[in-house]
């Protein structure tokens, strides 16, 4: 039961973040139409949003309420869980590499500052602290995605009876 409390906390956290991500998907989709390389990342973000909602639905209906869940929900969780694993792994590895090699982060910040038309005092320090904060968030978020998906796959096996057709129905 203690694992379920941890899983529940992670689920609500991922659901809140997925709500924020869903707003960025619309803008990202418009940008991706102009740059097809971005379509892959938009697809992975859509996978995370769908996975977050479906895992919440599985938790609230299948595990907590012991209600029947359609097999399509299990399929959605599995398919979008794989996309979420890919994105979570990419986020985690990239953030870990940038944490271990801060000179790469410094190089990116210097390039971004050099592209600014006007030089603002303190801009480089502000960008560095913002990038470090974002990097820490992405490191934790990638790890949370990986942990949550693995726990969900385990719970899908444990609660496979939630997807069985109820007695009296075809």
Model-level pTM greater than 0.85? yes
Q: Is the pLDDT of residue 168 over 60?
A: no
pLDDT, tens only, 109-167: 888 778 877 777 777 788 889 999 999 999 999 999 999 999 999 999 999 999 987 76
Sign of CA dihedral 80, 44, 89, 64: negative
94 contacts: CB under 8 Å, gap ≥ 6: 138
Residue 167, classified by CB atoms within 10 Å of its CB into exposed (0-12), middle (13-18) or buried (19+), is exposed
Mean pLDDT value across residues 7-12: 96
Instruction: Determine the pLDDT at residue 167.
Output: 66
d(CA 77, CA 8): 16
- DSSP calls for 107-153: HHHHHHHHT-SS--TTHHHHHHHHHHHHHHHHHHHHHHHHHHHHHHH
Residue 169 has φ and ψ, to the nearest 5°, of: -120, 150
Please report which helix (H) or strand (E) contains residue 70, including its range. none
Mean pLDDT value across residues 94-99: 94
pLDDT, tens only, 32-86: 889 888 999 999 999 999 999 999 999 999 999 889 999 999 999 999 999 999 9
Position 20 confidence tier, pLDDT thresholds 50, 70, 90: very high
7 contacts: CB under 8 Å, gap ≥ 6: 59, 148, 151, 152, 155
Residue spans of the domains in the chain: they are 2-161
């Amino acid at each position: 039961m203690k694992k379920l409390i941890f899983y529940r906390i992670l689920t609500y956290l991922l659901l809140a973040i997925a709500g924020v991500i869903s707003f960025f998907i619309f803008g990202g989709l418009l940008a991706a139409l102009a740059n097809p390389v971005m379509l892959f990342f938009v697809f992975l973000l859509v996978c995370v949003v769908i996975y977050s909602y479906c895992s919440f639905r599985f938790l609230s209906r299948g595990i907590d309420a012991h209600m029947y869940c359609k097999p399509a929900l299990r399929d959605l969780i599995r398919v979008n869980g794989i996309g979420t694993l890919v994105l979570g792994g990419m986020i985690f590895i990239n953030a870990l590499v940038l944490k271990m090699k801060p000179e790469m982060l410094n190089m990116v910040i210097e390039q971004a500052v050099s592209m600014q038309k006007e030089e603002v005092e303190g801009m480089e320090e502000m960008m560095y602290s913002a990038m470090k904060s974002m990097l820490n968030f992405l490191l934790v978020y990638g790890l949370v995605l990986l942990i949550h998906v693995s726990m969900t796959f385990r719970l899908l096996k444990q609660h496979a009876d939630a997807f069985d057709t109820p007695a009296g129905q075809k």
